[in-house]
Copies of this chain bind each other. A is one copy, B any other.
């Protein structure tokens, strides 16, 4: 039986999961593929660590360049992550004619264009299913299953840490700080959770999805990003009582030759299936002109789910190698000549319904002033909720608006914030259907 040799860079969580699948499910994979995937080399700084798997002699090395320079290896799995050595290793592997599978969303979202170009010139493939959504086949679904569709929008929960925190606050009413500490204890959040809770990790994934959905150059820097740190248990409880959930959503929409891509906390009604996605789970809804809305739902991170996605990429590449063919599917979904620079729409130019929470002094006339300013900016109020319960000595006033322009909301809130009766910056959460 033909053998395809594979090398792994980085035996962290996902790298170890990949090794486990290659070793434990080897015969199963061969029965589907018709060839054997052989783990030829795996590089990690700590090769003596017990990972609960038996590696053949000579597989482990501390030198990643030994892996990318091994002439017997056909496919390299880059599982180091980040933007330090990973790029150099990928470029070296490409130079050596090897195919790449990577989960490195930070690198792809910032330098993917250059990497895809280098791979195309050398006639090799960079596959990246494990970079977005863990086990969910988002990349394959967009590039292959929806290839006959004009994709109109994608919205999803793409960060398990944020979803775990928001779910915990929703179900148990704990504070943001306590929920984050719980996520760290449970292993769902890093010691430094900035990349997750500030929304950057989600934005990396959204940049990749926008590119392959709409046929645009990868553009990370123009994505609007807001994290979840300003959301309080009070906002979440109000949402819950009003039949909504608050989720950190990645949203990208194409219309009138521009893309509206953003990451922010979002209020969604219970009729939106994303509202039922709790804990560290991820889900994504893709809307196309033929399929309507379809959803993928599963483990967006973790050792084995992400490793499963990486292995599916390896098997795809191996199928082409067995057939002495190039990969059939363009890396960025569209033919290279068709990929365009599509402009992003400024967040100021969107329209949305909004949830706004004001903190006001308990004095007469405040609501009249607020609603007057909103009215002057064509912001129509759908409902107002004011409780006796005070927060830091101020009265919270919660409002839901009808569709309004973001720029008007911004201007109105600047004016309202400068009122004497307003004690702190209003909290604003966009609402999606």
Contacts and interface: CB of A to CB of B under 8 A. Distances in A.
Interface of A: 17, 21, 25, 28-29, 31-34, 129, 135-137, 140-141, 143-150, 215, 273, 276, 288-299, 304-305, 307-309, 311-312, 314-316, 319-320, 322-323, 325-326, 328-330, 333-335, 338
A314 B291 CA distance: 16
A315 B25 contact: no
Nearest to A312: B145
A74 to B, nearest CB: 15
Contacts of A28: 148, 150
B31 A136 contact: no
B150 A145 contact: no
Given A293-B299, A295-B298, A323-B325, 16 more contacts: A21-B148, A28-B150, A33-B335, A135-B291, A136-B294, A137-B145, A140-B140, A147-B312, A147-B315, A148-B315, A290-B307, A290-B311, A291-B299, A293-B298, A294-B299, A296-B296
B295 A296 contact: yes
B292 A148 contact: no
A148 B308 contact: yes
Contact of A305 (B147, B292, B326, B329): B292
Nearest to A138: B145
Please list the 4 inter-chain residue pairs (A to B) with the smallest Cβ-Cβ separation, ordered nearest first. A294-B298, A148-B311, A319-B328, A137-B145
Contact of A135 (B29, B143, B294, B333): B294
A273 B277 CA distance: 9
A36 to B, nearest CB: 12
A307 B288 CA distance: 12
A119 to B, nearest CB: 17
Contact of A147 (B291, B298, B304, B311): B311
Contacts of A289: 25, 304
Contacts of A316: 144, 328
B323 A326 contact: yes
A147 to B, nearest CB: 5
A398 to B, nearest CB: 27
Most chain B beta-carbon neighbours within 10 Å: one of A276, A290, A304, A307:
A290
A33 to B, nearest CB: 7
Contact of A298 (B129, B291, B305): B291
A304 B287 CA distance: 12
A32 B328 contact: no
Contacts of A129: 145
Contact of A312 (B146, B307, B325, B328): B146
